[in-house]
């Protein structure tokens, strides 16, 4: 016979929640290992917020003491932005979070003087680097804490491949290679793929989470250029 006498007790109900009813507060960041990482996420769509969402998860995970690395495709710079991005400054100040950029100057398909072949070479270099990072994660024990000041070659709990779906949709890399990355992912690694206005049909059936970031209105359509602090 089940005893339901305390199910209506607010204190007992709170004790059964993950936070046990306590108000969250900031704590010192120490190395920890995640208990439930291992999914693959896809963030695509024509709306603003794909990279922003990925960066939010990166900072959240790093705040728990997990090791996170960001590899950016197709974000090498443009005439509309300055030569530094705000997220790079923040990442540099955050324990356990690192980044690298394989993008070529300009944006593929824009009349900005950049050559398609150069974009393709950079994107393929990024693909090879992604493979190296997956191999490093496979060699690490992701069930254990990783040094927050360690290099990506020592492994990471979360790997974000930012704009890789743009690169695949624009045929700078083969979409089949993106699928291979997902298939090669170590079981305990959280893999996040972002980018692209077109649905990445080649990979959506291979992943665990798919989010379509849809645009209802964007100031860029009215001529607004990228703004410091929101777009870079």
Q: Is the pLDDT of residue 128 over 80?
A: yes
pLDDT in tens, 43-58: 999 999 999 999 999 9
Q: Is residue 4 part of a domain?
A: no
Please count the residues of the chain.
232
Q: Is residue 68 part of a domain?
A: yes
Q: What is the mean pLDDT of the chain?
A: 87
Residue 221 pLDDT grade (very low, low, confident, very high; cuts 50, 70, 90): confident
Domain range for 152: 34-222
Q: Is residue 27 part of a domain?
A: no
How far is 189 from 195, CA to CA, in rounded Å? 20
The pLDDT, as a whole number, for residue 104 is 55
Listing DSSP states for the chain in one string gives: ----TTTT-HHHHHHTSTTTTPPP----------SS---EEEEESSSTTHHHHHHHHHHHHHHTT--EEEEESS-S--TTS-SS-HHHHHHHTSTTEEEEE-PPSS-TTSSSS--HHHHHHHHHHHHHHHHHHHHHHHHS-TTS---TT--GGG--SEEEEETHHHHHHTTSS-HHHHHHHHHH--TT-EEEEE--SS--TTTGGG-SEEEE---S--GGGGTPPP-TTTT-
> Which CATH number fits the domain that encloses residue 130?
3.40.50.300
pLDDT in tens, 2-40: 455 455 676 677 777 777 777 888 889 999 999 999 999
Total number of domains in the chain: 1
Q: Is residue 39 part of a domain?
A: yes
Q: Is residue 67 part of a domain?
A: yes
Give CA separation, 116 vs 104, 109, 125, in Å. 10, 8, 14
The pLDDT, as a whole number, for residue 10 is 64
The pLDDT, as a whole number, for residue 110 is 46
């Amino acid at each position: 016979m089940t005893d339901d006498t305390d199910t209506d007790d607010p204190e007992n109900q709170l004790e059964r929640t993950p936070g046990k009813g306590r108000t969250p507060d900031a704590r010192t960041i120490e190395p920890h290992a995640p208990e439930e990482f291992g999914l693959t996420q896809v963030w695509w769509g024509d709306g603003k917020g794909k990279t922003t969402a990925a960066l939010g998860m990166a900072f959240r995970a790093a705040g728990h003491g997990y090791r996170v690395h960001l590899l950016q495709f197709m974000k090498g710079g443009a005439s509309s932005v300055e030569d530094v991005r705000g997220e790079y400054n923040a990442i540099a100040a955050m324990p356990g979070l690192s980044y690298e950029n394989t993008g070529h100057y300009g944006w593929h398909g824009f009349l900005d003087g950049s050559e398609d072949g150069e974009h393709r070479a950079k994107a393929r270099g990024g693909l090879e680097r992604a493979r190296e990072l997956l191999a490093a994660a496979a060699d690490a024990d992701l069930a254990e804490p990783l040094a927050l000041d360690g290099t990506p070659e020592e492994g990471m709990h979360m790997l974000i491949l930012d704009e890789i779906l743009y690169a695949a949709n624009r045929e700078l890399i083969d979409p089949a290679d993106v699928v291979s990355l997902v298939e090669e992912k170590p079981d305990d690694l959280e893999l996040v793929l972002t980018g692209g206005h077109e649905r990445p049909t080649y990979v959506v059936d291979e992943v665990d989470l798919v989010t379509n970031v849809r645009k209802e209105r964007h100031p860029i359509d009215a001529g607004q250029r990228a703004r410091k602090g929101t777009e870079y």
